Amino acid sequence: MKQTHYVAREPDAHGFIDYPEQEHRVWNTLITRQMKVIEGRACQEYLDGIEQLKLPHERIPQLGEINKVLGATTGWQVARVPALIPFQTFFELLASKRFPVATFIRTPQELDYLQEPDIFHEIFGHCPLLTNPFFAEFTHTYGKLGLAASKEQRVFLARLYWMTIEFGLMDTAQGRKIYGGGILSSPKETVYSLSGEPEYQAFDPIEAMRTPYRIDILQPVYFVLPNLKRLFDLAHEDIAGMVQQAMQLGLHAPKFPPKAAA
């Protein structure tokens, strides 16, 4: 597992996490900025979720506040985790309808980008869509699939997650919109993903699993869903069989340069 210099904050006996004032200010900067950037770019289902969550702007929300809304809409919960967790833990949580949230927030020095998913990425990027039954069903199925998968199969499943839940786009009557949490929590990627500069492919799960990615660059290619229900339908298809097909076909050549050696 990769190393991180971030440490998740522990709750008190009542489950309350006390964040320092400086961290509330970082949250405020991030959410205020990003709410403006996603305007006209995020899909309606995500915006509906934002409205239901009623995220505070002046402070980092408590996990219990998020759980009330998710519990009432789709039966999901968020679960406090350390900064980085193993694949196994990740799949176990999703399979039990619990979305992992690391209870730390990036420093002002890493405001625009950090490799570890922090509380802003998880809550602002992903939780709004967890109020949507189509998205919630796919995420739950994905967790169960991951639990049953071998180490090699999990790598292919990870690409499917990356190209949908993290970096997915969707066609709507109002034009192309964003639903991926990795895009929606990044000001740069939110603008870039819809700029016409990257390559767009109609969503095909096997193709998505065969497409390499790098976590530290703007994505060269995005997969575009016809609608969010496509994820719900996919959850009821033979994804395990698709993984096998993708493994037999092998990976596509990467559309990005190799990472420079450290």
Bind-site residues for Fe cation = 121, 126, 166
Instruction: Give the DSSP per-residue string, 61-117.
Output: PPHHHHHHHHHHHTS-EEEEE-SS--HHHHHHHHHTTEEEEES----GGGSS--SS-
**Distance in angstroms (rounded) separating the CA atoms of residues 17 and 102:** 12
Residue 98 near residue 85 (C-beta atoms within 8 A): no
Rounded to the nearest 10°, the torsion over CA 127, 161, 226, 54 is 10
Residue 145, burial from CB neighbour count under 10 angstroms (0-12, 13-18, 19+): buried
Binding-site residues, in ranges, read: 121, 126, 166
Nearest to 163 by CA among 142, 145, 140, 187: 142
Nearest to 206 by CA among 183, 237, 179: 237
Task: Measure CA of the first residue to CA of the last residue in the chain; give whole Å.
Answer: 17
Nearest to 76 by CA among 18, 11, 20, 129: 129
Nearest to 138 by CA among 67, 52, 227, 255: 227
**Distance in angstroms (rounded) separating the CA atoms of residues 13 and 23:** 21
